[in-house]
């Protein structure tokens, strides 16, 4: 299934995507139940498909990305967090505030938790995954580097576009076989596959759960592949008027405009 949250007539609700239509399914995208007639996708405003209690992010989780930054591969997953003020949906703007001049894109596979996960093993980890979505881990590189830690540079308002929907895990038999791309203004900037992850999805879910209990609806952003803007010569940073598209085959396409904040 492809599950969305959308706004129609001022009300936010959940729905199942069927072709170019949405079939309403109540208020909870994690517990869909048919609740009315279909509406056209084109007639509604799509929202972020999940409202996570926690956004757990993974740094340096693609081999080629670690190499392009000149860093060794991590020996264990490197965790950081974003806050819920960062969440925006498909088509909603990424706003560039005046506190930063070096805003970067990061295409990522998002993992949505469906069952409470506490100290679980790798072999059972994927049973706790509800589904997958596209994430753009937008990053203010100047703040990230100058602060010495990543929270502020990663958690500016609108810096976590998510969507356009959740694809349930039964439709993604192997989360380590998904092509991932980021396209800025029509130019392909990142083009890789989740097979390049240092730590696959099952290991990430298990590792996080050893110290942080994962609850239904929590979101894991699993890291970004090579091709980010700050490693390029010259560097490429987002500017007002840009358009950013995250593409993950079998999951979806997430597009967001960039505006002045």
Mean pLDDT of 186-202: 98
Angle at alpha carbon of residue 9, lines to 4 and 10, rounded to 5°:
80
Mean pLDDT of 26-35: 90
Mean pLDDT of 237-256: 98
Question: Do residues 96 and 161 both lie within one domain?
Answer: yes
Question: Do residues 138 and 61 both lie within one domain?
Answer: yes
Q: Residue 101's pLDDT is what?
A: 97
Question: Do residues 249 and 136 both lie within one domain?
Answer: yes
Helices (H) and strands (E) in the chain, counts: 5, 19
Mean pLDDT of 79-99: 98
Would you say residue 36 has pLDDT above 80?
Answer: no
Percent of the chain with pLDDT over 90: 94
Question: Do residues 16 and 132 both lie within one domain?
Answer: no
Domain boundary residue among 28, 47, 66? 47
Say if CB 132 and CB 246 are below 8 A apart: no
Q: Residue 9's pLDDT is what?
A: 81
Question: Do residues 34 and 69 both lie within one domain?
Answer: no
Q: In the structure, what pLDDT confidence band is assigned to residue 84 with cuts at 50, 70 and 90? A: very high
Question: Do residues 33 and 129 both lie within one domain?
Answer: no
Query: pLDDT averaged over the chain?
Result: 96
Q: In the structure, what pLDDT confidence band is assigned to residue 261 with cuts at 50, 70 and 90? A: confident
Q: Residue 35's pLDDT is what?
A: 79
Sign for the pseudo-dihedral over CA of 54, 55, 60, 61: positive
Mean pLDDT of 15-30: 94
147-188 tens-digit pLDDT: 988 999 999 999 999 999 999 999 999 999 999 999 999 999
Q: Residue 148's pLDDT is what?
A: 87
Q: Residue 100's pLDDT is what?
A: 98
Here the CATH number for the domain that contains residue 187 is 3.90.850.10
Q: Residue 260's pLDDT is what?
A: 97
Question: Do residues 43 and 82 both lie within one domain?
Answer: no
User: b/e map of 22-40 (b: 16 or more CB within 10 Å)?
Assistant: bebbeeebbebeeeeeebe
Q: Residue 146's pLDDT is what?
A: 95
98-142 tens-digit pLDDT: 999 999 999 999 999 999 999 999 999 999 999 999 999 999 999
Here the CATH number for the domain that contains residue 21 is 2.30.30.370
Rg (the chain; Cα; Å): 17
Cα dihedral 21, 29, 225, 232 in deg (nearest 10): 70
In the three-class reduction of DSSP (H, G, I as helix; E, B as strand; rest coil), residue 203 is classed as: helix
d(CA 103, CA 116): 34
Q: Residue 217's pLDDT is what?
A: 98
d(CA 11, CA 15): 12
Mean pLDDT of 189-212: 98
Mean pLDDT of 73-92: 97
In the three-class reduction of DSSP (H, G, I as helix; E, B as strand; rest coil), residue 5 is classed as: strand
> How far, CA to CA in Å, does 9 sit from each of 12, 22, 39, 75, 137?
8, 15, 12, 50, 30
Report residue 56: phi and psi, to 5°: -100, 125
Mean pLDDT of 221-242: 97
Q: In the structure, what pLDDT confidence band is assigned to residue 231 with cuts at 50, 70 and 90? A: very high
Question: Do residues 32 and 136 both lie within one domain?
Answer: no
End-to-end CA distance of the chain: 35
Tally the domains of the chain: 2
Query: Which segments of the chain are extended strands (E)?
Result: 2-8, 11-18, 21-24, 39-40, 45-47, 55-59, 78-82, 87-88, 94-96, 103-104, 107-113, 129-136, 139-140, 160-168, 179-184, 187-193, 219-221, 243-248, 252-260
> How far, CA to CA in Å, does 111 sit from each of 52, 99, 102, 132, 233?
11, 30, 27, 5, 32
Angle at alpha carbon of residue 205, lines to 200 and 210, rounded to 5°:
125
β-strands 2-8, 11-18: how paired?
antiparallel
Question: Do residues 70 and 182 both lie within one domain?
Answer: yes
**Phi-psi map region of 80: left, alpha, beta (phi>0 left; psi -120 to 50 alpha):** beta
Question: Do residues 40 and 80 both lie within one domain?
Answer: no
Tell me the residue range of the domain where 42 lies: 1-47
Query: Which distant-in-sequence residues (6+ apart) come within 8 Å of 170 by Cβ?
Result: none
């Amino acid at each position: 299934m492809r599950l969305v949250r959308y706004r129609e007539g001022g009300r936010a609700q959940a729905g199942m995507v069927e072709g170019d239509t949405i079939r309403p399914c109540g208020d909870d995208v994690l517990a869909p139940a048919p609740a009315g007639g279909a509406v056209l996708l084109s007639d509604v405003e799509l929202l972020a498909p999940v409202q996570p209690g926690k956004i757990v992010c993974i740094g340096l989780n693609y081999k080629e990305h670690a190499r392009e930054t000149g860093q060794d591969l991590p020996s264990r997953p490197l965790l950081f967090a974003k806050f819920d003020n960062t969440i925006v949906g498909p088509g909603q703007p990424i706003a560039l505030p005046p506190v930063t001049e070096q805003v970067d894109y990061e295409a990522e596979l998002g993992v949505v938790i469906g069952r409470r996960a506490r100290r679980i093993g790798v072999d059972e980890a994927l049973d706790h995954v509800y589904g997958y979505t596209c994430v753009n881990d937008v990053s203010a590189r100047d703040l990230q580097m100058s602060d010495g830690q990543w929270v502020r540079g990663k958690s500016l308002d609108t810096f976590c576009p998510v969507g356009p929907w959740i694809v349930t895990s039964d439709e993604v038999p192997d989360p380590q076989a998904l092509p991932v791309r980021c396209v800025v203004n029509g130019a392909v900037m990142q083009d890789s596959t989740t097979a390049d992850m240092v730590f696959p999805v099952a290991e990430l879910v298990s590792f996080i759960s050893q110290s942080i209990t994962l609850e239904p609806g929590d979101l894991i952003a699993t890291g970004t592949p090579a091709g980010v803007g700050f490693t390029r010569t010259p560097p490429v940073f987002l500017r007002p008027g840009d358009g950013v598209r995250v593409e993950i085959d079998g999951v979806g396409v997430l597009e967001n405009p960039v505006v002045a904040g």
